[in-house]
């Protein structure tokens, strides 16, 4: 067979295999090869040279579309095998990539988003799989590869690697920046409160002493006239002085404030650690971030793939069972 | 009028006198139509496959000594009925066009 005919057959086989599977591609090419063989033999018998016969045979074949060789399987035209692979590919990309960005964009709605995506995926891939799960599997593999490449690149640009023992996933850069900014402010406030706490502690001891001696007097407000340790109004010292158990009330109030500051301090210690980690992540070189995103995507890419494939297999199975049942009913009623 | 330029009808008609493989069908259509109808040769096979799926023809692979195997197609009973229907449609169509062309030419 001439190079031209062989090239034509090889290209057609590749395209048909992609659209309709290996078996169909082999059948088509075997028929066309026999056709070309007959055509060349006949033209040569009529006196043409081998080269001329091959060239004419190739010209007579025309330019068929590989889509014409895709067998029908009862699906509507917009969902036939050749188009179905495109549907699977783009649907998986939209359905698989979006969740990661949706979930981090709206972390409060993780559960409804995940449930919504699961239901959508089950329905969509189940429907596509009803016409044959094997025609879903290959486009899914291609989509996974593209998803891995595209999502890894986008995440390496817009996300940072904040993974640690407590936080297993990377996070969007803007979320981390906002978090660092907010926590920085809060930590400054905690620092102020701690300085107040030291004054409050001496005041607490003072009131405890007063309570023990039973002598009450006006508090020294000083710098404590604000923030967490703001005391009862200094505008009415008479009312304070006249309160029977004022020292006890002040002691309890100051103790409560001290406990609160202690909790804040504990939180601040853990926050300081995560802020340091976030700042390191934000300043990390691109190559390291890219490597981290490759690892992260490699870990999570299989979950939607397996879910979509399982949905397609379920759709295939349910549809096969339904067809068998319908066939039995039609036979029993006939 | 249902009848249009119908590759399926031509293929079915070419199989009336016995089973044929793809290239033989192309040749039969070309010869019987005095070289007027030239089937798109690669386009023939998707049509044959559709007809096989519909049950109008059956295809069987037959080995050929020293050559690639050929798939030989044979007309089935449902295919014969479809061909009869297409013949009737063609008859109506050609008569109608004949009348129109003759009377239209003399008006």
Interface probe with A: pick from B7, B11, B23, B48, most Cβ of A within 10 Å: B23
pLDDT at residue number B5: 55
- The pLDDT value given to residue A204: 72
The sign of the torsion formed by the CA atoms of A283, A284, A285, A291 equals negative
pLDDT in tens, A148-162: 898 889 889 988 888
How do residues A15-52 score in pLDDT, each as one tens digit? 888 777 788 888 899 999 999 999 999 999 999 999 99
How is residue A47 annotated by DSSP?
T
B40 vs A contacts (CB less than 8 Å): 62, 64
In angstroms, the CA A216 to CA A210 distance is: 6
Chain A residues in contact with chain B using a Cβ-Cβ cutoff of 8 Å: 27-28, 30-35, 37-39, 42, 60-64, 68-69, 71-72
Q: Is B38 helix (H, G, I), strand (E, B) or coil?
A: coil
Closest CA to B22 of B35, B2, B41: B41
Nearest to A38 among B23, B49, B69 (CB): B23
Regarding beta strands B67-75 and A159-160, do their DSSP bridges make them parallel or antiparallel, or are they unpaired? Answer: unpaired
Query: Distance between CA atoms of A304 and A100, rounded to whole angstroms?
Result: 11
Burial of A77: CB neighbours in 10 Å, binned 0-12, 13-18, 19+ = exposed
The structural domains of chain A, with segments of one domain joined by +, span 3-69, 77-161+301-333, 171-283
Q: Could you tell me if B81 lies within 8 Å of chain A, comparing CB atoms?
A: no
Whole-angstrom distance, CA of residue A194 vs CA of residue A261: 7
In the prediction, which pLDDT does A177 show? 87
Binned at pLDDT 50, 70 and 90, residue A310 comes out as very high
CATH of domain B7-106: 1.10.10.10
Kindly report the three-state secondary structure assignment for every residue of A247-301: HHHHHHHHHHHHHHHHHHHHHHHHHHHHHHHHHHHHCCCHHHHHHHHHHHHHHHC
Are A31 and B45 within 8 A, CB to CB? Answer: yes
Q: Is B21 helix (H, G, I), strand (E, B) or coil?
A: strand
Does B55 touch chain A if contact means CB atoms closer than 8 Å? Answer: no
Q: Which residue has the tokens 């309890």?
A: A252
A35 to chain B: which residues are within 8 Å by CB?
21-23, 26, 41, 45
Q: What is the pLDDT of residues A259-299, one digit of tens each?
A: 777 777 777 777 777 788 888 888 889 998 899 888 888 88
* Set of chain B residues whose Cβ sits within 8 Å of the Cβ of A31: 22, 45, 70-71
Query: Strand, helix or coil at B34?
Result: coil
The pLDDT > 70 percentage for chain A reads 79
Nearest CA-CA distance, residue B98 and chain A, Å: 32
């Amino acid at each position: 067979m001439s190079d031209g005919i062989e090239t034509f057959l090889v290209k057609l086989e590749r395209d048909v295999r992609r659209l309709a599977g290996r078996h169909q591609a082999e059948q088509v090419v075997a028929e066309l090869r026999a056709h070309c063989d007959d055509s060349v033999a006949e033209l040569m018998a009529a006196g043409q040279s081998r080269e001329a016969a091959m060239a004419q045979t190739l010209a007579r074949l025309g330019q068929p579309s590989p889509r014409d060789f895709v067998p029908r399987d009862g699906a509507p035209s917009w969902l036939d095998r050749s188009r179905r692979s495109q549907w699977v590919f783009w649907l998986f990309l939209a359905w698989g990539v979006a969740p990661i960005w949706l979930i981090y964009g709206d972390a409060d709605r993780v559960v409804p988003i995940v449930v919504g995506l699961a239901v959508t995926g089950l329905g969509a891939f189940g429907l596509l799989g009803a016409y044959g799960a094997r025609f879903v599997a290959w486009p899914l593999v291609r989509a996974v590869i593209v998803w891995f490449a595209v999502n890894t690149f986008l995440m390496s640009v817009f996300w940072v690697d904040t993974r640690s023992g407590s936080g297993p996933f990377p996070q969007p850069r803007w979320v981390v920046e906002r978090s660092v900014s907010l926590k920085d402010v809060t930590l400054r406030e905690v620092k102020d409160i701690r300085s107040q706490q030291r004054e409050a502690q001496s005041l607490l001891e003072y009131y405890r002493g007063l309570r023990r001696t039973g002598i009450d007097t006006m508090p020294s407000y000083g710098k404590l006239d604000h923030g967490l340790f703001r005391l009862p109004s200094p505008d009415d010292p008479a009312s304070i002085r006249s309160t029977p158990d004022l020292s006890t009330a002040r002691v309890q109030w100051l103790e409560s404030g001290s406990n609160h500051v202690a909790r804040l301090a504990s939180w601040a210690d853990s926050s300081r650690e995560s802020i340091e980690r976030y700042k390191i992540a934000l300043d990390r070189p691109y190559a390291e971030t890219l490597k981290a995103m490759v690892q992260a995507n490699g870990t999570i890419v299989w979950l939607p793939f397996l879910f979509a494939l399982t949905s397609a297999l379920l759709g295939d199975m349910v549809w096969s069972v339904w067809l068998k049942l319908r066939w039995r009913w039609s036979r029993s009623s006939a | 009028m249902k009848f249009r330029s119908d590759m399926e009808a031509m293929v079915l008609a070419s199989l009336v006198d016995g089973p044929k493989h793809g290239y033989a069908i192309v040749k039969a259509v070309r010869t019987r139509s005095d070289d007027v109808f030239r089937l798109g040769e690669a386009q023939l096979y998707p049509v044959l496959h559709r007809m096989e799926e519909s049950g109008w023809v059956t295809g069987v692979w037959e080995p050929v000594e020293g050559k690639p195997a050929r798939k030989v197609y044979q007309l089935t009973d449902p295919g014969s009925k479809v061909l009869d229907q297409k013949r009737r449609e063609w008859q109506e169509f050609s008569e109608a066009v004949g009348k129109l062309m003759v009377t239209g030419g003399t008006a």
